[in-house]
């Protein structure tokens, strides 16, 4: 039997590299999947690339509770319920020092990266409870485990969601809803291209080489590496795991 047979999943940031790879993995393992993303053009492209009768999409904003509720309602109406919610939407913000950082930009990073998962939990918990439990996964970062110069607001947001995750895990345990975080090191995605260019304008390839050399396994992760860990935490293979932080970082935090 496939590992997610009969399961229904929502993936925010579904049009990004990690979201797309996770959706593909979930579909292979039998899940019905709703992609949730702000970028209509990219989410339609992802939907068409994945080509599955068990896939649909919703264009919405994770910082709006109404949109999170709408995504849950669509999953319930289309597929009968909700078992898995991957709070994966995130933005990197700007590459600037704290004194240079625009305050409105700081608010935007916190809204997407922290308020988004909070609102996802608020919308998803009742639906999962009605199904007898579920798995809620938050994409954090290794920037949520240590300080990161020139990415202060991003690092702040990724630390914050770990606190949210641990609190939700204890709140939701009696409902059999498991809550965990995944903390990747650099992964081959659009976000890292932006960060590389921001750290070293005109020298993105050099910046990538420097960052990769600091990873003990000597490379960036691939979206598929993260998707496989998402699958484990979404499936019943991790039925006794909640409140945990999963570094997937090539040994960076060893």
pLDDT tens-digit profile of 59-93? 999 999 999 999 999 999 999 999 999 999 999 99
pLDDT classification of 107: cutoffs 50, 70, 90? very high
pLDDT classification of 198: cutoffs 50, 70, 90? confident
Query: Which one of 79, 154, 220, 246 is the catalytic residue?
Result: 154
pLDDT classification of 213: cutoffs 50, 70, 90? confident
* β-pairing verdict for 134-139 and 177-184: parallel
Token representation of residue 165: 């995750």
Place of tokens 């669509």: 74
Q: State the span(s) of the chain assigned CATH 3.40.50.720.
A: 8-185+222-248
Looking at beta carbons, which pairs linking 228-231 to residues 24 or more positions away fall under 8 Å? 228/25, 229/182, 230/18, 230/22, 230/25, 230/26, 230/86, 230/137, 230/182, 231/3, 231/4, 231/22, 231/25, 231/26, 231/29
Asked if the model's pLDDT at residue 191 lies above 90, the reply is no
Q: How far apart are CA 74 and CA 62, in angstroms?
A: 15
**Mean pLDDT, residues 213-226 taken together:** 92
**Mean pLDDT, residues 204-232 taken together:** 91
Q: How far apart are CA 63 and CA 218, in angstroms?
A: 36
R_g over Cα of the chain: 17
Token representation of residue 203: 């020298």
Model confidence, pTM: 0.94
Q: Is 154 known to be catalytic?
A: yes
Work out whether the CA dihedral 118, 189, 225, 29 comes out positive or negative.
positive
Task: Give 153's DSSP letter.
Answer: H
Asked if the model's pLDDT at residue 204 lies above 90, the reply is no
Q: How far apart are CA 55 and CA 48, in angstroms?
A: 10
Looking at beta carbons, which pairs linking 243-246 to residues 24 or more positions away fall under 8 Å? 243/165, 243/166, 243/169, 243/170, 243/179, 243/180, 244/180, 244/181, 245/140, 245/145, 245/162, 245/165, 245/180, 245/181, 245/183, 246/180, 246/181, 246/182, 246/183
Burial of 69 per CB tally in 10 Å (0-12, 13-18, 19+): middle
* Alpha-carbon separation of residue 30 from 1, 7, 196 (angstroms): 9, 7, 36
Token representation of residue 201: 């304008």
Whether CATH 3.40.50.720 fits 8-185+222-248: yes
């Amino acid at each position: 039997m496939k590992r997610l047979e009969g399961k229904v999943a929502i993936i925010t940031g579904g049009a990004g590299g990690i979201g797309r790879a996770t959706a593909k993995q979930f579909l292979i393992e039998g899940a019905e999947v709703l992609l949730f993303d702000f970028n209509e053009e990219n989410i339609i492209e992802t939907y068409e690339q994945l080509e599955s009768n068990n896939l649909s999409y919703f264009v919405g904003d994770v910082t709006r509770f109404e949109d999170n509720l709408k995504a849950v309602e669509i999953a319930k109406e289309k597929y009968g319920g909700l078992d898995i919610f991957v709070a994966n939407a995130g933005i990197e913000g700007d590459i600037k020092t704290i004194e240079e950082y625009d305050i409105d930009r700081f608010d935007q990073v916190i809204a997407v990266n922290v308020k988004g998962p909070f609102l996802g939990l608020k919308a998803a918990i009742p639906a999962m409870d009605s199904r007898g439990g579920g798995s809620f996964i938050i994409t954090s970062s290794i920037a949520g485990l240590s300080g990161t110069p020139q990415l202060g607001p991003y690092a702040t947001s990724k630390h914050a969601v770990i606190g949210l995750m641990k609190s939700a895990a204890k709140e939701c345990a009696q409902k059999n809803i498991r809550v965990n975080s995944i903390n990747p090191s650099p992964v081959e995605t659009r976000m890292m291209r932006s960060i590389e260019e921001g750290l070293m304008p005109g020298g993105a390839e050099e910046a990538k080489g420097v960052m990769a050399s600091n990873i003990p396994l000597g490379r960036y992760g691939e979206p598929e590496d993260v998707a496989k860990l998402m699958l484990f935490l979404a499936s019943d293979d991790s039925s006794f795991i909640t409140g945990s932080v999963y570094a997937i970082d090539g040994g960076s935090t060893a």
